[in-house]
Amino acid sequence: MAPVISQYAAVVPTPRLIAHVDMDAFFAAVEVLDNPALAGKPIVVGHDGPRGVVSTASYEARKFGCHSAQPIAVAKRLCPSLIVVPIHGERYHHFSRRLFEVLDEFSPLVEPLSVDEAFLDLTGSERLLGPPVEIGNRIRERIKSELRLTASVGIAPNKFLAKTASDFRKPHGLTIVEPGTEQQFLAGLAIGKLWGVGPRTAERMRDLGVERVGDLLKFSEAELTKRFGREGEHFARLARGEDFRAVTPDHAAKSISHETTFETNIASAEEVRAVLLRQTELVAWRLRRAKLKAGTVTVKIRYGDFETITRSRQIDTSTAASDHSSATADLWQAAGGLFDAWVRASFKPVRLIGMGASRLSTGAGQLNLFPDERDARQRRVDKAADAVVEKFGKKSIRRGGSKGGG
C-alpha cells in the first residue's frame, strides 16, 4: 500500500497556506512613530541633496506621485508641501529585527525577502491558529502591538498569490485568496502585476491585447512560449494562479539571488554594474544572516531582445576571507569579475541583471587558527556594510556607487 500512497502524494500536492507580510511605507512609518508631528503629512525619507533619491514615500506623499527611487528634486516638484526626512538607519534595523521576531512566532518556515518583507508557510497551522482570516489578523495585530507599525498581509495557496494579495489592499490590508478563487482574484489585475512582467514585457503584452492578467488565459501555453520564450510558459502558469515554489528559509536554501528588471534597456555598463553591486550586497547580507558560505556565484544578464546569458564562477570557500559566512568582497570579486569580462567581450544594453549565490554550506567547518590581517579587516568592513544594508533597506545606495535594484 505504501508505495501507492506516496505515488499519489507526488502527483497531487498537499494544499498549502502561505502568507506574505510587508510593512507599510516602512522607513516613513518609523519616522512618523519617532516624530508624531509628521503623522498625516506628505513625507519622503532620503538625503535632501541635489543627487538625493527617495527611499520611500508616506502614503500621503504617494497621492502626489512621490515614490521610491525617484530623485528628491522631482518629488519636491510634485508635492510642494513635501517634508524630506533624513535616513535613520539604526531605527529601521531595530524594527526589522523585531518584525522577524514576531514572524518567527507564527511559523518555523519564514523566508526573508528584504528588511520589511517575508513569506511564511502556515500549512497545517489552521487547527492551532484558526482560519486564514484570523491568522492574518493576528499577524497584523501582533506587529501593531509589538512595533506600533502597520503591515499588510496576503494569505493564499502559494507564494505568488500571497505576495500579490498583500499588495492588494495596502496599507494595513488583509487579503485572503481562497483555494478555487485564484483565477477570479487575478483576472482583473493589470498585467504588470505578474511576476517577471517588467515595463517592456507589459508593453508587448498590451500589443497582443493583454491588459489584465485574465486576458492571458485566451492564449495557449504554446502561443505564449512562441512569443516570450521560456518565460511564456511561466506567465501562463502564473495567470492560472499556479506556483509550486516552497517557502525556504535562507539557511535551508540551495541558492539565494536578487534580480532587477529595468524600465528601459540600460546602455551604461556603469549603471548596470552599480545595480549588480547592490544585489551582491543584499545576497551577502542574507548569506551572513543565515551563516552561510557560497561556493558558486552566478551573474544573469538579459538583453532587450530577451536573450539571456548566465556566467558562473567558483569561490574557493577554504581560502575565502571570512571563515563562517560569505564576505561581500569575495562575492563581488567573482560577480564583478564576471561582469567586467562580459562588458569587455560583448556589452549590449541590458534589460535585466541578476546575481545569485549557490553551492551553499554552513562554512563553519574550518577553524582558522591564524586569522590574518585581511580576514579581520574584511569582517569589519562587512559588519559595517551589513549595518548599512539593514539600515537602508533593499534598495539602498552603498559601497562606491552601488545603486537601485533588489
Positions marked active-site: 117
Please identify which residue in the block is written with the cell numbers 498581509: 153
How many helices (H) does the chain have, and how many strands (E)? Answer: 15, 12
Q: Which of residues 102-131 bind ligand TTP (CB under 6 A)?
A: 116-117
Q: Does 185 bind ligand TTP (CB under 6 A)?
A: no
The entry of Mg ion, ligand TTP, none that residue 56 binds, CB within 5 to 8 Å by partner kind: ligand TTP
The rounded distance, in Å, linking the Cα atoms of 151 and 246 is 23
Stretch that binds ligand TTP, among 217-225, 277-285, 363-371, 387-395 (CB under 6 A): 387-395
Q: Does 26 bind ligand TTP (CB under 6 A)?
A: yes
C-alpha cell at 38: 509628521
Q: Does 396 bind ligand TTP (CB under 6 A)?
A: yes
Q: Does 56 bind ligand TTP (CB under 6 A)?
A: yes
Stretch that binds ligand TTP, among 20-28, 270-278, 285-293, 342-350 (CB under 6 A): 20-28
The rounded distance, in Å, linking the Cα atoms of 354 and 298 is 8
Nearer to Mg ion, 173 or 232 (CB): 173
Stretch that binds ligand TTP, among 23-31, 36-44, 176-184, 278-286 (CB under 6 A): 23-31
Chain residues binding Mg ion by CB under 5 A are 22-23, 26, 116
Among 18, 19, 21, 23, binds ligand TTP (CB under 6 A): 23
The rounded distance, in Å, linking the Cα atoms of 310 and 366 is 31
The rounded distance, in Å, linking the Cα atoms of 82 and 250 is 38
Q: Does 393 bind ligand TTP (CB under 6 A)?
A: yes
Q: Does 41 bind ligand TTP (CB under 6 A)?
A: no
Q: At its nearest, how many Å lie between ligand TTP and the CB of residue 112?
A: 12
Q: 248, 19 in Cβ contact below 8 A?
A: no
Stretch that binds ligand TTP, among 25-33, 100-108, 232-240, 383-391 (CB under 6 A): 25-33
Give the 3-state secondary structure of residue 399: coil
- SS3 sequence, 318-354? CCCCCCCCCCHHHHHHHHHHHHHHHHHHHCCCEEEEE
Q: At its nearest, how many Å lie between ligand TTP and the CB of residue 70?
A: 9
| Number of residues in contact with ligand TTP under rule CB under 6 A | 19
Whether omega before 112 lies within 30 degrees of 0, making that bond cis, reads no
Among 17, 25, 239, 275, binds ligand TTP (CB under 6 A): 25
Q: 43, 29 in Cβ contact below 8 A?
A: no
**What are the φ/ψ torsions at residue 312 (nearest 5 degrees)?**
-125, 155
Give the 3-state secondary structure of residue 179: coil
The entry of Mg ion, ligand TTP, none that residue 391 binds, CB within 5 to 8 Å by partner kind: none
Give the 3-state secondary structure of residue 123: coil
296: how many CB neighbours lie within 10 A of its CB?
16
Among 302, 394, 399, 402, binds ligand TTP (CB under 6 A): 394
Q: At its nearest, how many Å lie between Mg ion and the CB of residue 328?
A: 24
The rounded distance, in Å, linking the Cα atoms of 41 and 14 is 46
The entry of Mg ion, ligand TTP, none that residue 27 binds, CB within 5 to 8 Å by partner kind: ligand TTP
List contacts with ligand TTP (CB under 6 A). Answer: 22-27, 55-56, 68-69, 116-117, 170-171, 392-396
